[in-house]
Amino acid sequence: MIIDVSKACDLLKKGDDILILSHQKPDGDTLGSGFSLKYALEKLGKRTRIECSDGFPSRYGFMYQDGFDPDKQEQFTPGMIVAVDIADTQLLGKKTEKYKDRVDLCIDHHPSNTHYAKNLVLDSQAAATVQLISKVIDGLGVKIDLLMATCIYTGLATDTGCFRYSNVTAETMYLAARMMEYGVDAYGINKLMFETKSVARMEVEKLIMETLEYYYDKRCAVIVISDEMVKTTGVSEEELEGVSAIPRQIEGVEVAVTLRQKGARTYRVSMRTSEYVDASRICVRLGGGGHARAAGCTVEGTLVQVKKKIIEQLKDAF
């Protein structure tokens, strides 16, 4: 059932022994939402616990209370289960999927939310779930403190590429401004979130840059990430995030293609287009799908064959 923020606050006020769930492969928004809500509920005297199938990365350590140890949290049989920023129970992951039919309240901003929870607060216009959490905290009558503000700011910044994506609204900026008034170290957070690359990431970027090729009068740019590159640099999946921006950001490039090797003769193709080429139409022809500006498919063959197939399919697009 879709409910509004005020109804969600009523439920939370009544509840206790509240288990908060963040999605697997946790990001700044699901953690920022989970922890700020946890801190707010604790101010109301509630017992809480937060769980995430993939644990709590040290990278986001500045959002955790001093001495936070996920394994030493209070143990209780949940009286209420709250999922934050989780569009689908498939995103719970192995450790917490056992709760999938028992979620009492979901707070989310994904338009694709599957309405799996008994009660759902959904605003797909919100740039981040923390935008809704901040309303819940206000609705609970809890005064926001520096740590909560840090969590909320982090969710906003990470889900918007530091206030850069098309999901940013005046409301997003007003909320970030308000959080900064609590003394949030925005500079430090953004440096850590956006301007820090691991040595392995730098090494793999160097190798990727060497594969950069242009087609169709430089309106199409292609990069390759081979199994070999991943192996020799030891780069993790998490560290590879966002490399598809490399071809996409080149001036004049309409079609940016990232070929990610997945075994000897298999490439996962990610295609992003800037303005007029329908990426979905091309990827569908190759057995994939997606949206007009972002689509994908999987193509079998040697690297040369895969490139040839894609470039041929683009012929009529230019």
Nearer to a copy of itself, 197 or 308 (CB): 197
Parallel, antiparallel or unpaired: strands 294-300 and 48-52 = unpaired
Q: Which is nearer to a copy of itself, 82 or 168 (CB)?
A: 168
**Between 266 and 274, CB nearer to a copy of itself:** 274
| Closer to a copy of itself by Cβ: residue 2 or 292 | 292
**Shortest distance (Å) from residue 111 CB to a copy of itself:** 18
State whether the Cα torsion 60-65-70-71 is positive or negative: positive
Residue 127 CB, shortest distance to a copy of itself, in Å, is 11
* Single-letter amino acid code for the residue at 21: L
The tokens describing 284, both together, are: 């569908």
Looking at beta carbons only, is 104 or 159 nearer to a copy of itself?
Answer: 159
Give backbone dihedrals phi and psi of 5, rounded to 5 degrees, phi first: -60, -40
Residue (of 246, 277, 33) closest to 133 by Cα position: 33
Q: How far is the CB of 59 from a copy of itself (least distance, A)?
A: 10
Please, which residue, 2 or 177, has the CB nearer to a copy of itself? 177
CB of 37 to a copy of itself, least distance (A): 23
**Contact 25/54 with Cβ under 8 angstroms?**
yes
Residue placing its CB nearer to a copy of itself in the complex, 169 or 298: 169
Our CB check for a copy of itself shows the closer of 196 and 305 to be 196
What secondary structure does DSSP assign to 32-51, as a single string?
A: HHHHHHHHHHHHTT--EEEE
b/e code 84-119 from CB counts within 10 Å (16+ = b): bbbbebebbbeebeebbeebbbbbbbeeebeebbeb
Q: Smallest distance, Å, CB 178 to a copy of itself?
A: 7
Instruction: Supply 277's token pair.
Output: 């080429």
Torsion of CA 19, 22, 23, 27, to 10 degrees: -170
Among residues 184, 253, 179, 251, the alpha carbon closest in space to that of 221 is found at 253
Q: Please, what is the minimum distance in Å from the beta carbon of residue 249 to a copy of itself?
A: 5
What residues make contact with a copy of itself under the rule CB under 8 A? 162-166, 168-174, 176-178, 180-181, 186-187, 190-191, 194-199, 202, 205-206, 209-210, 212, 214, 218, 245, 248-252
What three-state secondary structure class fits 303? Answer: helix
Place of tokens 């992003």: 272
Which residue from 115, 121, 189 is spatially nearest to 156, judged by alpha carbons?
Answer: 189
**What's the min distance (Å) between Cβ of 301 and a copy of itself?**
26
Smallest distance, a copy of itself to C-beta of residue 21, A = 29
